[in-house]
Chains A and B, each alone.
Chain A
Amino acid sequence: MRFGDATDLATRNLREALLRNSLTTVGIAVGVASLVAMLSLGIGLQQMANKRLEKSGLFDTVVVTSRRDLRSFNREQETAGPAASESRPLDDVARTDIARVPNVIEVTPDIRFITELRYQDKPHLTMVAGMPLSDRSNDFFDNMLGNFFSSSDAAELILQKRFAEELLGISQARNAPETDPAKLKPLIGQEITLHYAERIYSGDTAGKQPAGAGVDFSIVPRDKTLRIVGIAVEDPEGMRGATRGRAFIPQGLAESLHIMLPSDLRESMRSFTSKPAYSSLGVKVTSASKAQRVQDAIRKMRFNTFSILDATKSLRRFFAVLDIFLGIFGSLALVIASLGIVNTLLMAILERRREIGIMKAIGARDRDVKIIFFSEAAVMGLAGGLLGVTLGWLLGRAINLGTNFYLKQLAMPPENLWSSPWWLMAGAVVFAIAVSILSGLFPAARAAKLEPVEALRYE
């Protein structure tokens, strides 16, 4: 029998017992809806977590350290890698090399130091950090007051909210109420003096002194006047980036000031060249998905690398397991629905026994009878799958609306707990059809095996 004939006969038969077949189809739809709902929730939660982590700027950053450095994030790599003597210093040459690796946006040294900031003649000791312009996208700067740096070497400063409060003498007790951002605003445009130690190398000594003799440099105290351009109001605690300082200056400015860093001293003690070396470099990658490739390329250059990807492997595993569990729970309803299909088709065989006999008497092969019952199961699966996906999608929308309404009342930003990508919807329909056909296997085989003479005797 032709495929078109089989589906034609099948839909015709389904219409004959409309109520029963509709109920069976609704059963499948509920099963599919629950599967879609569960998986949508899993995917939604995963995407929400990923988005948070990606925006934190942790995923697209690779930290590079020299193998000579005793401090290493990746001990396994260290023992497996080349010995310290084979490694190279993390200097300007290395920095240029790393910047040439494909998919690298920016390579910046980690400049961070504790120093004195003088505001209205009052000294404040705090941690100041250099910040590349590419960090603009970090969600730490969402809703910030004022502006981000105008250029990479502008004499500008961005404050963290807590430090801004300190400058204004506002209480920072744990249970203190949130400060009204309007109170902090007057700080913007004010001038502040950065007191720092400049490191000046005493000429090119490399030629004159034997290797390993160290580096000479002088330290000169300096002052630099900066203008406050912005205040980051987001809570710096939690899984957010930019927790490394309380006040930020543009990366370019930070580098040009040649600020004496704590690591300089250590580097100079065991210097292999007279050139200054970096304790670590932050490598910004075009996207999180490229981080692994960039990491591999840099490791080949004989440096140690570390990225949050390494640390989130277990997190990703957790989501995979969560998805499997949600999928199993969602599938349970579909399993029950498939029993409904088996039941409905067995009933149909009992009812249509005589009809099967007639069809066989006028030339239907076992295969033809089987195909008709398969088609009935598949049509129910298709209808149930489509209906179920629609139901699941509507359910997801409703839950998203509900949670967002709730979050709004708590004055929190909206989140999409629920995500139903197209492949999940299409997959659910295909799965419903597959499960239905599987459920049709036994009834169809039973119908096909009926002996015509016995089937015809049945009234």
Chain B
Amino acid sequence: MNPANGSAAVRAENLTRHYRMGESLIRAVDGISLDVPTGEFAAMLGSSGSGKSSLLNLIAGLDRPTSGSVTVAGSDLARLSRDELARYRCHTVGIVFQAFNLIPTMSVVENVELPLRFAEVEPSQRRKQASEALQRVGLAARMQHRPTELSGGEQQRVAIARALVNRPKLLLADEPTGNLDSKTGKEILDLLQDLNRNSGLTVIMVTHERHLADHYASRHIFLADGKIVGDEKASAKGERA
């Protein structure tokens, strides 16, 4: 076990995100305060529309809060400029999506290299870092393939490699197994758990599958109607624990 070491990786205070939909106001995130310590593997659970993905988007710097603050690695994302927020997404956080979100016209290795282009890494250095990341997720042999030539599980591995390539402190996963069968889903979560335990990466995962959270996460955060309705420590069983 690699317990959370106490200092907060993510801290949300009174965080709200409201959308206006015609006449009605949707409170997707409605006054959430939350601490996620460094090295934790947290699962955010809730039914669809509970606000878990909206909260994740705020932590990822993909969206801006209506009010409140969300602080990651010491900087308040609400106060960052557009460029600083892009830098944050580039270097501090890695994001894995349900739909993989790979660029279909690029090969596997080019997809993984893309964040390095935005980080302005030397071309010679890029290939090396990208193949290291692919090795880590066990896909070194498929570097030149197009994403569409890979299985769903392999595609998600590529997405994880891409999320890791700039060595982030925080990995965010939005329903990472949602498009995968249960066996492949487990393999992906094994990989995330391995990264959490052996590299000290803080992982926040959104899921609606309780049994997966039970199996892998050390903390369960329950959301409903944009509010936290439950927050419990759990001892993740973990297959290789």
Contact = CB atoms under 8 A, between A and B. Distances in A.
B225 interface: no
Contact of A363 (B102, B103, B106, B118): B118
B120 interface: yes
B205 to A, nearest CB: 16
Contact of A364 (B57, B105, B118): B118
Contacts of A360: 62, 86, 89
A366 B82 contact: yes
Interface stretch (A160-168, A275-283, A448-456): A448-456
Given A1-B120, A16-B105, A355-B103, A362 B90 contact: yes
A358 B102 CA distance: 8
A12 B103 CA distance: 12
Given A452-B62, A456-B101, A363 B115 contact: yes
B157 to A, nearest CB: 16
A348 to B, nearest CB: 13
Interface string B98-114: 00011101100000001
B120 A359 contact: no
Nearest to A8: B117
A361 B89 contact: yes
B86 A363 contact: yes
Majority SS at the chain A contact face = helix
Interface string B112-126: 001101111001000
A368 B118 CA distance: 7
A367 interface: yes
A16 B146 CA distance: 14
A314 to B, nearest CB: 58
Interface string A379-400: 0000000000000000000000
Contact of A361 (B82, B87, B95, B123): B95
Nearest to B162: A362
Contacts of A365: 82-83, 86-87, 118
A71 interface: no
A5 interface: yes
B120 A366 contact: no
Interface string A1-38: 11011000100110010000000000000000000000
B63 interface: yes
Contacts of B106: 12
A362 B115 contact: yes
Contacts of B169: none
Contact of A2 (B63, B83, B87, B117): B117
Contacts of A1: 117-118, 120
A160 to B, nearest CB: 77
Contacts of B105: 12-13, 16
Contacts of B86: 360, 363-366, 368
Contacts of B118: 1, 359, 362-365, 368
B60 interface: yes
Contact of B63 (A9, A12, A453): A453
Among B57, B105, B117, B166, find the residue whose CB has the most chain A CB atoms closer than 10 A.
B117
Nearest to B120: A2
Nearest to B114: A362
B62 A361 contact: yes
Contacts of B162: 362
B95 A362 contact: yes
A307 to B, nearest CB: 63
Contacts of A364: 86, 90, 118
Nearest to A452: B62
Nearest to B106: A12
A359 B101 contact: no
A355 to B, nearest CB: 6
B227 interface: no
Interface in B61-102: 62-63, 82-83, 86-87, 89-91, 95, 97, 101-102
B160 to A, nearest CB: 12
Contacts of A366: 82-83, 86
B80 to A, nearest CB: 12
A233 to B, nearest CB: 72
Interface in A337-386: 354-355, 357-368
Contacts of B57: 453
Interface of A: 1-2, 4-5, 9, 12-13, 16, 354-355, 357-368, 451-453, 456
25 contacts: A1-B117, A2-B117, A4-B123, A16-B105, A355-B103, A358-B103, A359-B114, A359-B118, A361-B60, A361-B62, A361-B95, A361-B101, A362-B89, A362-B114, A362-B162, A362-B163, A363-B87, A363-B166, A364-B90, A365-B83, A365-B86, A366-B83, A366-B86, A452-B62, A453-B62
The 10 closest A-B pairs by CB, nearest first: A363-B90, A365-B86, A363-B118, A453-B63, A362-B115, A453-B62, A452-B62, A5-B117, A358-B101, A364-B118
Interface of B: 57, 60, 62-63, 82-83, 86-87, 89-91, 95, 97, 101-103, 105-106, 114-115, 117-120, 123, 162-163, 166
Given A360-B89, A363-B86, 5 more contacts: A361-B95, A361-B97, A368-B86, A453-B57, A456-B97
